[in-house]
Amino acid sequence: MNCREAREELRELEEGRMPREREAILRAHLATCDACRNADEAERAITALLRTRLPRYDAPDALKARISATLAQGAGAAYPRDAMPSDVRVRPTEARETRRSQRVGAFVGVLALAAAVALFAYRTPRPAETSPLVTEAVSDHLRTLYAEHPIEIASGGIHQVKPWFTGRLDFAPIVPFAGDDEFPLEGGAVAYFVDRKAATFFFKRRLHAISLFVFRADGLGWPSMKSAPGGGLVAYDATARGFHVLLWRRGELGYALVSDVEPGELAKLAARLNAPSD
């Protein structure tokens, strides 16, 4: 099993719908692959978050009344024996067929109404199609938010944080912005982005956490990019699960900036991160 196959089957593993033989293969892969194991942990964290925070709505009283009426109709749809008109004679087989048809009709009606309730209860808009890199960036950001100790090197300035990555990565992260009063640098850590190690820089904007992932850009399915408002940075911007994401490339490196701050604030930080190096 390769990483792509493993990522596609993580949801089935989490929901307990995977055949035992396939589950054994996937678990064996997770035991030897740090990137996929991190992806599995992120998937579980996101699912738990959505289960506790996804809004649900009560069905309207009118819809509940319609369901109750349909159920009542299905329960007593056939003529009671003592209520059948005296001038109507129905053979037993015809009566059974009539009752069966009425029960089936009532059951179909209940199913239709139940579907309407489900649609009403989960009336969240279908998310627009977005880049898999955006999904990865948001998942990694959420994992850092819920990690017990996300920061491995506390910030004493960018010139202290960047050297810490030496020997921990197979590339040197290029981040010319050292943080300022608007966007203070909190620290850094080594993380995974898709199937490779990434340098993570943690910034803040008031009470908002901001993650910057820096990683090797080769071999990834990059989306089409365009100039950000105001010109300069060429990036891909998207919103997923309430988080704003900016993706861009700079030489051999890729960058993913993620936060729940306003898009304009995130673009301001991205511009500083792409300022010419000293």
Enclosing domain of residue 106: 61-121
Measured between alpha carbons, how far is 242 from 265 in angstroms, rounded to an integer? 15
Better pLDDT: 154 or 259 = 259
Confirm whether 150 is domain-assigned: yes
Domain termination residue (choose one: 53, 72, 93): 53
Same domain as 212, residue 238: yes
Confirm whether 100 is domain-assigned: yes
Instruction: Please write the tens of the pLDDT for every residue from 27-72.
Output: 888 888 887 887 787 777 666 655 555 555 566 777 777 777 777 7
Give which of 71, 48, 61 is closest to 120, Cα–Cα: 61
Which residues is 205 bridged to in the sheet?
A: 208
Domain termination residue (choose one: 98, 121, 144): 121
Instruction: Please write the tens of the pLDDT for every residue from 162-191.
Output: 889 999 999 999 998 989 999 999 999 999
Domain termination residue (choose one: 70, 87, 121): 121
Same domain as 159, residue 211: yes
CATH number at residue 212: 3.30.200.100
pLDDT reported for residue 128: 47
Confirm whether 179 is domain-assigned: yes
pLDDT reported for residue 112: 55
Same domain as 206, residue 90: no
Confirm whether 278 is domain-assigned: no
160: tokens are 């202290």
In 3-state terms, what secondary structure has residue 209?
strand
Give which of 220, 209, 203 is closest to 254, Cα–Cα: 220
pLDDT reported for residue 54: 52
Q: How far is CA 180 from the centre of its chain?
A: 31
pLDDT reported for residue 185: 93
Q: Do the Cβ atoms of 72 and 64 come closer than 8 Å?
A: no
Same domain as 204, residue 265: yes
Measured between alpha carbons, how far is 224 from 217 in angstroms, rounded to an integer? 14
Q: Do the Cβ atoms of 232 and 266 come closer than 8 Å?
A: no
Same domain as 162, residue 195: yes
pLDDT reported for residue 50: 58
- Rounded to the nearest 10 degrees, the angle between the axes of helix 132-146 and helix 34-53 is 80
Question: How much is the average pLDDT of 63-85?
Answer: 63
Same domain as 235, residue 180: yes
Average pLDDT, the chain: 77
Torsion (CA) 202, 207, 208, 210 in degrees, nearest 10:
-10
Comparing 122-126, 186-190, 210-214, 272-276, which segment has the lowest mean pLDDT?
Answer: 122-126
Comparing 107-111, 146-150, 222-226, 235-239, which segment has the lowest mean pLDDT?
Answer: 107-111
Question: How much is the average pLDDT of 125-129?
Answer: 46
The domain tally of the chain equals: 3
Same domain as 193, residue 84: no
